[in-house]
């Protein structure tokens, strides 16, 4: 069953035509990855889905509901979580305060606490640093905090934008293990990632975007065997 459906989406930055009729499907329970080079339109796709940019043409359906022109906070309430590129944590707030900001629409303190504890189960290091300011955390810890904050709204679909950026190889493996575990616990994930090999290793399906257009879509296993993908994104000649 399709949880998220992008249908012929055209997005612009002023006069720049950034997305040129892309169509993407994410089914419930999947990890779907969007791979491509810098400037291909990956982050623009996520920003369009989350309402930061509104498409000029096409539809975005979340659980069958058209969210194409909704404001971002209403899209969050509809069940979408977005962990942006660069993490976007609040550096002058503590770990606890950052997590509480992620649950800004939740009125039940017990439910907020339950969700926070779930984040600490995934990332025990955050619990150790609960009173520490976000800006003083390491890059890996900030990425953990960004993901945990994204989960505080209990999203049906979690979008992750370049979660491995700037991280050491061991931390990259940890983050991807967590993403896989989240999916196994029932969270549907749309993953934007330049580390195509890692992304395809945990994804069910994937899309390749070039110059604002989807050029290939297939299962992750088939994309790893695709000659164009191997040469352009996997470093295989």
Banded model confidence at residue 210, pLDDT cuts 50, 70, 90: very high
DSSP state of 1: -
For residue 168, the model assigns a pLDDT of: 86
Whether the per-residue pLDDT at 175 is higher than 80: the answer is: yes
**Does 176 lie in the same domain as 74?**
yes
Region 106-118 average pLDDT: 94
Going through the chain in order, the beta strands assigned E by DSSP cover: 2-13, 16-27, 31-35, 57-62, 65-66, 80-83, 157-161, 188-192, 205-210, 213-219
Residue 16 lies in a domain: no
**Does 120 lie in the same domain as 31?**
no
d(CA 208, CA 216): 5
Which of residues 154, 177, 200 is at a domain's end?
A: 154
Q: What confidence tens digit (pLDDT) does each residue in 181-193 have? A: 999 999 999 999 9
Residue 5 lies in a domain: no
d(CA 35, CA 22): 13
Give the orientation angle of helix 109-122 with respect to helix 169-184, to 10 degrees: 130
Banded model confidence at residue 10, pLDDT cuts 50, 70, 90: very high
For residue 192, the model assigns a pLDDT of: 96
**Does 110 lie in the same domain as 121?**
yes
Region 82-100 average pLDDT: 92
Residue 190 lies in a domain: yes
Residue 11 lies in a domain: no
Whether the per-residue pLDDT at 236 is higher than 90: the answer is: no
For residue 88, the model assigns a pLDDT of: 83
Question: Domain tally for the chain?
Answer: 2
Residue 58 lies in a domain: no
**Does 113 lie in the same domain as 169?**
no
**Does 161 lie in the same domain as 126?**
no
What value does the CA radius of gyration of the chain take, rounded to a whole number of Å?
A: 17
pTM (whole model) above 0.85: yes
Residue 97 lies in a domain: yes
For residue 108, the model assigns a pLDDT of: 94
Whether the per-residue pLDDT at 62 is higher than 80: the answer is: yes
Q: What is the residue range of 210's domain?
A: 27-53+67-79+156-237
Q: Are 194 and 166 within 8 A, CB to CB?
A: no
């Amino acid at each position: 069953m399709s949880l998220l459906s992008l249908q012929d989406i055209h997005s612009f930055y002023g006069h720049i035509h950034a997305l040129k009729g892309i169509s993407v499907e994410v089914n419930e329970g999947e990890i779907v990855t969007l791979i491509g080079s810098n400037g291909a339109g990956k982050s623009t796709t996520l920003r369009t889905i989350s309402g930061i940019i509104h498409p000029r043409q096409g539809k975005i359906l979340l659980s069958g509901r058209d969210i194409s022109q909704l404001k971002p906070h209403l899209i969050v309430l509809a069940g979408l979580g977005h962990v942006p590129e660069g993490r976007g944590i609040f550096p002058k707030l503590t770990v606890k305060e950052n997590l509480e900001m992620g649950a800004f629409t939740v009125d039940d303190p017990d439910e907020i606490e339950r969700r926070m504890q779930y984040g600490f189960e995934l990332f025990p290091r955050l619990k150790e640093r609960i009173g520490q300011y976000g800006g003083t955390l390491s890059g890996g810890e900030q990425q953990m905090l960004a993901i945990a904050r994204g989960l505080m709204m209990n999203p049906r679909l979690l979008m992750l934008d370049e979660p491995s950026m700037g991280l050491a190889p061991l931390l990259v493996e940890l983050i991807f293990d967590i993403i896989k575990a989240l999916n196994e616990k029932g969270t549907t994930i749309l993953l934007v990632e330049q580390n195509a090999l890692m992304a395809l290793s945990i994804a069910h399906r994937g899309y390749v975007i070039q110059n604002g257009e989807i050029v290939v879509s297939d299962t992750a296993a088939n994309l790893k065997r695709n000659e164009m993908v191997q040469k352009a994104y996997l470093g295989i000649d």
